[in-house]
Amino acid sequence: MDNKILKRAIDRVLTRIDATLDQPGQGFPHYADQTTGEWTRSPAGDWTGGFWVGMLWLAAWHTKEPRYHDQARIWAERLGPRASSQSAFKGFLFWYGTELGAELLNDETARNLSLAGTRGLLDMYNPQAQLIPLGKEAEEASDVGSNEANIDALPGPVPLLIKHAAALDSLEIARNHLRQHIALCVRDDGSVCQSASFDPQTGALLRRYTHKGIHGESTWTRAQAWAMVSLAQALNRGEMEFRDVAIQVADWWLEHQPKDHVAYWDFDDPAIPDTSRDTSGAAIAAAALLKLAVCLPERRERYRQSAEAIVEALVLRYQTPVDASDSRPVGILTHGCFNRKLGVAMENELIWGDYFLFEALLVLDGRLASERV
């Protein structure tokens, strides 16, 4: 990827972070109008607040500017009460929102919060079913509780439980959580279903379904992307038991993504190409491919080049300004699709799309080791 384009894209992300810091409003940025840049916020961080804090940690690490570090710590502390929330999605909050500060900046406040969040995840573990269930406070509007699993409950819990294994004796729980979600959600062909009900006594699969995809047999884009990134996080931490399924899931993405590298919201929407893209799913996939590239020598070139192609397509076609006549605020990653089923934020900037684009850009820039984040 051209170095000038890369540097310019990073500068644009930083400009957007500054504009978000300056924007009035309380709560964590969740999704924004892609024309005005105005954020819709979540008061307590929902499942997404950690991505905003993660962007601040990345900005602090990249620029070395104390103001980003100060802001990151302030926002991370606001996540503290969520350590006890009954939602597996708190893994997102405490990996991206707190552990990144410990890992990249050796921040003690962040480390303590990260440990508290990981303990909170362990409290939710079901030893019979051998996984952390979705939980009754999880974001999804229906089918949440102690007998439901979501593939999006992997990134966050998996690296947190591995990272804190020595302190919290959580390595086997991380492995079991991952093994069970693979059994419940990954299909034989390497495509991924978002959600499953399981028998709470045995963990056996009862049914597969989706909260956000077009239908239960379809492949919702972020289901595939979340599986890719969590498997990559496990491999990056030496869990090579998951190598084959990680390759299968990543190769499925590459074989099914559009020729122009930016996925639509669901791979099986019959309206493609006249339907929504999901730039956030593409950004997650790019970050995952960069992680996989470092620990799979036989796939290194293919995954690295594919990630670069996705990132380049995102910054040239979807990051504002996209051309000289574009007067929108700078640095918005447009065309994320949050929830097409409910008609919410279908062509918007999404805070997690911003985060994964920023992470991938910093990895491509060459200083950030993808296996640290």
Can you give the binding site for ligand GLY, defined by CB under 6 A? 47, 139, 152, 212, 222
Q: Give whichever of 329 and 353 is closer to ligand GLY, judged by the CB atom.
A: 353
Q: Give whichever of 295 and 373 is closer to ligand GLY, judged by the CB atom.
A: 373
Sheet containing 28-33, strands listed edge to edge, beginning at the edge strand earlier in sequence: 39-42, 28-33, 348-350
Q: Which residues contact 128 (CB under 8 A, 6 or more apart)?
A: 200, 201, 202, 203
Q: Give whichever of 102 and 153 is closer to ligand GLY, judged by the CB atom.
A: 153
**Distance of closest approach, residue 217 Cβ to ligand GLY, in angstroms:** 19
156: left (phi over 0), alpha (psi -120 to 50) or beta: left
Q: Give whichever of 152 and 354 is closer to ligand GLY, judged by the CB atom.
A: 152
Sign for the CA dihedral angle at 54, 58, 61, 66 comes to: negative
CB-based burial, 170-188: b 16+ in 10 Å, e otherwise = bbebbbbbbbbbbbbbbee
Q: Give whichever of 91 and 203 is closer to ligand GLY, judged by the CB atom.
A: 91
Q: Give whichever of 47 and 95 is closer to ligand GLY, judged by the CB atom.
A: 47
**Distance of closest approach, residue 169 Cβ to ligand GLY, in angstroms:** 28
DSSP string, 203-225: --EEEEE-SSSSSTTS-BHHHHH
Q: Give whichever of 51 and 61 is closer to ligand GLY, judged by the CB atom.
A: 51
**Distance of closest approach, residue 20 Cβ to ligand GLY, in angstroms:** 20
Beta-bridged to residue 150, according to DSSP, are 195
Question: What is the CA 54 to chain-centroid distance, rounded?
Answer: 11
Query: Phi then psi for 366, rounded to 5 degrees?
Result: 105, -10
Q: Is the peptide bond before 273 cis (omega within 30 degrees of 0)?
A: yes
**Distance of closest approach, residue 238 Cβ to ligand GLY, in angstroms:** 26
**Distance of closest approach, residue 280 Cβ to ligand GLY, in angstroms:** 8
CB-based burial, 33-72: b 16+ in 10 Å, e otherwise = bbeebebbbbeebbbbbbbbbbbbbbbbbbeeeeebbebb
Pick the closest to residue 234 from 299, 310, 177 (CA basis).
Answer: 177
**Distance of closest approach, residue 139 Cβ to ligand GLY, in angstroms:** 6
Q: Give whichever of 90 and 222 is closer to ligand GLY, judged by the CB atom.
A: 222
Question: How many CA atoms does the CB half-sphere of 214 hold within 13 Å?
Answer: 14
**Distance of closest approach, residue 178 Cβ to ligand GLY, in angstroms:** 17
**Distance of closest approach, residue 197 Cβ to ligand GLY, in angstroms:** 17
**Distance of closest approach, residue 313 Cβ to ligand GLY, in angstroms:** 20
Tokens 């991380």, residue?
174
Q: Give whichever of 51 and 75 is closer to ligand GLY, judged by the CB atom.
A: 51
Amino acid identity of residue 306, one-letter, is S
Contact 236, 370 (CB under 8 A): yes
